[in-house]
């Protein structure tokens, strides 16, 4: 069996050093003689892990004063509701760029006046809307920066005349971000930041406490800020792996360094998609994601889809099948995916073209 090249959309490939260090902690957490799986979150040394993880987030994303980092359960899907509960008072606008943006909007609609300012649904979310105007009377404007299913991405921080909230689940830590432009950034960990089981929220603290509705204790960001993300038992294993992943990222040069690596990976694969006679990209070129690279068989070659998937799997490509709602193929090139992995996929595509092109 050869080396597996993992392109899963999430949970995704993690740095090997993070996996190895977690294995050791599963045997013995920091010399306590107790497995990470069995420790209490009140165990001596656990608060140090939590503090280090928060500090790494702040360092890696250059988070300014006035913001706090909290670790939460429920993934980004719970954040769809939690964000709206904490920030929606009168009216909120959403940029509808895919399934996850649409789901976030649905949760907000359940609480009040929320609507799509612009949408790319007319072309199956294959592009990022442009030329729209953000109403000045919104409580906030919500964007989903990367769309995993369709392979589109907002790769620059937008200027918003109203408070800006972003779901960055699938591209956080992949590129520099000006956090000061946002009231709230949230993300499920399982793309670039760790395993499933924990989400991170980066919250501007003075923006909280301004809604008139009752906020359930667990859905109030202030609860988790005040209790340092330990109001209830935190997902210790997931946070430990996250911390190890952030240490790895810092060690290789941080977010700017990984962004350069990610851009090169994406350029390599997109160049092959554009060159190869058997494949074609699905996202508008100006909006292509560097995290989720989506493609299909070229017109007239659709009958080769299943054959290529089998061909690729036999050559140790893992997770390249497209989302069930759109079909085709998707290579998720998150931070831990290497240039070697991408070049291996390119070689498989070239080999298949020689045989079937």
Alpha helices for 211-283 (secondary structure H): 221-226, 236-251, 254-275
DSSP string, 264-293: HHHHHHHHHHHH-TTEEE-S-GGGB-SSEE
pLDDT above 70: residue 264: yes
The pair of three-digit structure tokens given for residue 323, joined into one six-digit string: 């989302």
Spatial CA neighbour of 249 closest among 168, 304, 306, 174 = 174
Instruction: Report DSSP state, residue 141.
Output: E
* Least confident piece of the model among 13-22, 123-132, 177-186, 318-327: 318-327
Q: What is the mean pLDDT of residues 72-89?
A: 97
- Say which of 46, 191, 265, 321 is annotated catalytic: 191
Give the per-residue pLDDT at 1.
Answer: 61
- Say which of 46, 139, 157, 167 is annotated catalytic: 167
pLDDT above 90: residue 44: no
Residue 45 banded pLDDT, cuts 50, 70, 90: confident
Known catalytic membership, residue 159: no
Q: What count of Cα atoms within 13 Å lies in the side-chain half-sphere of residue 70?
A: 31
pLDDT in tens, 285-329: 999 999 999 999 999 999 999 999 999 999 999 999 999 889 999
pLDDT in tens, 189-235: 999 999 999 999 999 999 999 999 999 999 999 999 999 999 999 99
Q: Is the pTM of this model over 0.95?
A: yes
Q: Are 322 and 328 in contact (CB under 8 A)?
A: yes
Q: Are 352 and 308 in contact (CB under 8 A)?
A: yes
Ordered by where they begin, the domains of the chain are 16-251 (3.40.640.10), 254-356 (3.90.1150.10)
Known catalytic membership, residue 167: yes
Residue 2 banded pLDDT, cuts 50, 70, 90: confident
Distance CA 243, CA 156 (A): 26
pLDDT above 90: residue 115: yes
Known catalytic membership, residue 303: no
Q: Are 200 and 173 in contact (CB under 8 A)?
A: no
Distance CA 92, CA 109 (A): 9
Distance CA 306, CA 328 (A): 9
- Say which of 100, 139, 157, 171 is annotated catalytic: 100
Mean of per-residue pLDDT scores for the chain: 97
Query: Measured between alpha carbons, how far is residue 49 from residues 46, 53, 58 in Å?
Result: 5, 6, 14
Distance CA 156, CA 3 (A): 35
pLDDT above 70: residue 54: yes
- What percent of the chain lies above the pLDDT cut of 90? 96
């Amino acid at each position: 069996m050869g080396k597996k090249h993992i392109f899963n959309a999430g949970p995704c490939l993690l740095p090997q050093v993070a996996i190895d260090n977690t294995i050791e902690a599963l045997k013995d957490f920091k010399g306590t003689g107790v497995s990470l799986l069995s420790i209490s979150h009140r165990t001596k040394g656990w608060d140090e892990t939590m503090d280090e993880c928060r500090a790494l987030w702040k360092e890696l994303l250059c988070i300014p004063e006035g913001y706090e980092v909290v670790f939460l359960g429920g993934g980004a899907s719970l954040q769809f509701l939690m964000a709206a509960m904490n920030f929606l008072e009168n009216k909120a606008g959403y940029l509808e760029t895919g399934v996850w943006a649409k789901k976030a909007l649905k949760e907000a609609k359940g609480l009040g006046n929320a609507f799509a300012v612009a949408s790319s649904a007319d072309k199956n979310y294959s592009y990022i809307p442009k030329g729209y105007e953000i109403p000045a009377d919104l409580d906030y404007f919500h964007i989903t920066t990367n769309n995993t299913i369709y392979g589109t991405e907002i790769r620059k921080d937008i200027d918003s005349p109203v408070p800006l909230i972003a779901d960055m689940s699938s591209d956080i830590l992949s590129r520099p971000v000006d956090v000061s432009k946002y009231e709230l950034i949230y993300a499920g960990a399982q793309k670039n930041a760790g395993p499933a089981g924990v989400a991170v929220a980066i919250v501007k603290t003075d923006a909280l406490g301004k809604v008139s509705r009752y906020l359930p204790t667990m859905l109030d960001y202030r609860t988790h800020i005040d209790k340092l993300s330990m109001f209830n038992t935190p997902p210790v294993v997931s946070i430990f792996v996250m911390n190890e992943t952030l240490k790895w990222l810092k060690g290789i040069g941080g977010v700017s360094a990984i962004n350069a690596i990610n851009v090169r990976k994406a350029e390599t694969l997109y160049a092959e998609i554009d060159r190869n006679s058997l494949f074609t990209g699905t996202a508008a070129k100006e909006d292509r994601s560097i995290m989720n690279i989506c493609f299909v068989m070229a017109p007239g070659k659709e009958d080769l889809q299943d054959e290529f998937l089998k061909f690729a799997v036999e050559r140790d490509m893992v997770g390249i099948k497209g989302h069930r709602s759109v079909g085709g193929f998707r290579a998720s090139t998150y931070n831990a995916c290497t240039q070697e992995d991408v070049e291996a996929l390119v070689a498989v595509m070239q080999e298949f073209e020689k045989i079937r092109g």
